[in-house]
Amino acid sequence: MSALAPVSQPAFLHQQIQAALRQPDPVLANLLITRCHYLLSQALQAALGEGAGANFHSWAVWGSRKAGVTIRQEDLDDARRDGSIAGSLVGGLVGIGCGRLLGWAAGWLPLAALLGAGCGLTAGHLIIRRSRRRSASLVLAGNRTVLEDIGLQTVRFLEWLPKAAAMQPADIALFLHELHPGPVGEQNQELLRQAFSQYYIAYHASNIGQKQRATYLGNCFAVWHEHVRLEPYIQGAMPLIIRRCVTGRLLQFDIGTHRLAVAHDVPAPIQPLEADSDPSVQAALALLRLGSGTAQAGGSSVAHTAAKDWARIKERMRYIFALFQAFHTDPQVFTIPYTADQLVALAAGQRPAGTL
């Protein structure tokens, strides 16, 4: 079976997910997880129908690929530099403050600043070295959590859809029965219930605009669920003292050939999604606005979407909801994350050669 062919068989997908989750090598595990999201993206895209646009797993490919940079510690040098700079600045200010508290003459304050900066530099370097190791572990744990939590439900959805097609009428409640309800935004599966309900609407929609809108809404609910689940991992992977620095300088990511950064506003959409006045759509958008804390969620504006502190879930959701809408139909979202040869190697359970 080709590693590049759209593989929609749920049994095969389930097998690949389990293999990725059991893989003990952190680097290979991340690569296999990224490949699984790629296969799931293809399968769900085929199920929802032509023109549906990107689905959650289309986006998860690039999130997992970015996670691999931290898991492989490829951003360690940049993190050390930024942490050292931040530590030096903070240490210098603390040194000046201590000098004043001790009653030092103004001529001695530069020395206090120098001593403080030296201490801050050393502390910053040590904090970054320790935090990046911890971050790599937490990011991999989060990487596995997303695939297990959402990927397996996608497989179940793909298994259920052919049965639903034979029902008169099909009832999405039969699928949702195994997803635990609860207050939106808490550690339950309510947001996944919303996500797959929207995917089911997209599956039945004959109008392309409605299909794309429902798929987009499903994506947003799925990623909101993901980030609620990942909150402890994200908080733990970003030490408080350097969160703004990491957000501003390290959180760049690729979507195909596009290079983006969460510290900048999402680019304006090439092809905005059609508006929809349907009451159920408006109710779904109201929930998304609750998640992002802004009236912009689901709207056409991408202004003020840049994040200052990625550890804050409302800032993440504000950015991601806008990103999903702006690039929903962009062909780059669907491109393969690795070369054809690398995917073949991964299909064989091997770590591929070349740049990842």
pLDDT tens-digit map of 120-144 = 556 555 555 556 577 788 899 999 9
* Res 336: pLDDT: 93
* Res 274: pLDDT: 67
Provide the residue range defining the domain that includes 122: 10-347
* Res 315: pLDDT: 92
Domain count of the fold of the chain? 1
Segments in the chain below pLDDT 70: 1-8, 75-109, 111-132, 166, 168-170, 270-277, 295-301
Q: Which residues neighbour 197 within 8 Å (Cβ) at sequence distance 6 or greater?
A: 172, 176, 218
Using a 10 angstrom Cβ sphere, with 0-12 exposed, 13-18 middle and 19 or more buried, the burial of residue 48 is: buried
User: Could you tell me if residue 182 is inside a domain?
Assistant: yes
Q: At what angle do helices 208-237 and 109-146 cross, to 10 degrees?
A: 130
* Res 258: pLDDT: 93
User: Could you tell me if residue 137 is inside a domain?
Assistant: yes
**C-beta separation of 308 from 315 below 8 A:** yes
The identity of residue 96, as a single letter, is I
What is the Cα–Cα distance from 266 to 238, expressed in whole angstroms? 22
* Res 2: pLDDT: 40
User: Could you tell me if residue 112 is inside a domain?
Assistant: yes
Nearest alpha carbon to residue 339 among 65, 8, 17: 65
User: Could you tell me if residue 352 is inside a domain?
Assistant: no
User: Could you tell me if residue 4 is inside a domain?
Assistant: no
User: Could you tell me if residue 246 is inside a domain?
Assistant: yes
What is the Cα–Cα distance from 209 to 213, expressed in whole angstroms? 6
* Res 128: pLDDT: 58
Distance from chain centroid for Cα 174 = 29
User: Could you tell me if residue 74 is inside a domain?
Assistant: yes
The model carries a pTM of 0.83
- C-alpha distance from residue 318 to each of 187, 288, 307, 330 (Å): 20, 9, 8, 20
* Res 284: pLDDT: 79
User: Could you tell me if residue 29 is inside a domain?
Assistant: yes
